[in-house]
Structure 1
């Protein structure tokens, strides 16, 4: 093989490898929207709305009782204590309910947290209507502060009859650093 043919082969290989890198980079950007579309299509996303629902003239279905299990966890790097005061509630679809969540910042510094909810099984998420929730906004706790944060909700009576139990999980993230960056960029 001559040197010119080797150079041509090397150039072709470099172009192929660059195309692969660009393709992988593009796939990385497309992964989140593709995941959301796939989960929505299969009904497995478990995301709840980040907008407060309005509770008006909702008819209560007293013939059914739904068990809602609340699970809390803190993400790595979040120093707070976080738990539901009531772990399990039984509610009739359409009935307004409230669960309080205990949060404590045991550190010596102010910390900003953001709770992200998920519901399992995923199809139940669209029937979980929160009229008030600490998850709608970031929460700031001063050093040593502890609070009760309410979450008011009702289950839409249109919930399929085969769903009688579901889990709501809140994961609490430390967003102090990112909130400070946003504040600096605004100022």
Structure 2
């Protein structure tokens, strides 16, 4: 009995006599924390590089847009003279082509004794572009002329704004196929006109119809010609 009690006491005391093992010390930072820090640094560097790339791209885009804007402004100033040269070279839009001069045509037909009997009605039209504060009208609605004859017509322009305005006009002849026979001797087109506030002027158009109009089979049935002018505002700059 005493022996069994001693054995139980020995079993209870034995675990407390065993020296405790200390847990090994942990290095800092832990492996998981180190990986997290590395990922954070890499992400920060990547974000900075992306931001720099976006800024560089934005600068390139801004430079491109500024270049386009400058080119458009330059093109607007060159549009009228370029349009004039193109139309005179090709006859596009019913613009009279420059070949034989009007004086040369008149002299040639006078020498040949060319005569015509067909009467043509020349009608006049006037327009202004958007932003042009002018009143612009033909002084007469139409004139009647025979091929080989010259005629004089007038257009009236009035500046209805409170500031001086400079304008320039373009013109065309319809139908387009008749344009080669419509010759301007004097005209205000493609020339800048400056009007003071409230100022009004009459602008002449002196033209000549080539006698060959009457003998051209393509002109058969063409008894009306429309001369149209459009005035555009010239920028102050």
Provide TM-score, normalisation by structure 2.
0.53
1:93 corresponds, among 126, 147, 167, to 147
Tell me how far apart the structure 2 counterparts of residues 123 and 156 of structure 1 sit (CA, whole Å).
13
- 1:65 and 1:92 in contact (8 A); partners too: yes
Question: Within 2, Cα distance between the matches of 1:144 and 1:49?
Answer: 36
1:61 and 1:74 mapped to 2: Cα distance? 38
Secondary structure at the aligned position of 1:86 is classed as coil
C-alpha separation in 2, matches of 1:44 and 1:69: 20
Q: Which runs of 4+ in 1 moved over 2 A?
A: 48-51, 53-62
Q: Does 1:153 align with 2:201?
A: no
Cα displacement string for residues 13-52 of structure 1 (whole angstroms, at most 9, x for unaligned residues): xxxxxxxxxxxxxxxxxxx99xx79xx5xx763123589x
Indicate the structure with greater helix content. Answer: 2
CA-CA distance at 1:54 after TM superposition = 3.3
Which of 76, 79, 83 does residue 137 from structure 2 map onto? 83
Q: Deviations over 1:84-118 (max 9, x none)?
A: 11111110111110001111111111111111101
1:37-71 per-residue CA deviation (whole Å, 9 max, x = no partner) reads 9xx5xx763123589x5334244644111111111
Say if 2:183 is the partner of 1:129: yes
Deviations 1:154-180 (A, max 9, x none): 1111123412212111111111x1xx4
Q: RCO higher in 1 or 2 (8 Å CA, sep ≥ 6)? A: 1
What residue in structure 2 maps to residue 48 of structure 1? 96
Partner of 1:164: 223
Give the structure 2 partner of residue 118 of structure 1. Answer: 172
**Structure 1's 171 and 108: CA in aligned 2 closer, same or farther, altered over 3 A?**
same
Aligned equivalents of 1:49, 1:110: Cα separation in 2: 33
The answer to whether the Cα contact below 8 Å between 1:44 and 1:123 also exists between their aligned partners in 2 is no
Residue 170 of structure 2 aligns to a residue in which SS? strand
1:65 equivalent in alignment to 2:124: no
Relative to structure 1, the CA distance from residue 50 to residue 143 in structure 2 (aligned partners, 3 Å threshold; closer, same or farther) is farther
Q: In structure 1, the residue corresponding to 2:180 is in which secondary structure?
A: helix
**So what's the TM-score if we normalise by structure 1?**
0.66
2:212 counterpart of 1:173: no
Q: Aligned in 2, Cα 1:110/1:50: closer, same or farther, shift over 3 Å?
A: farther
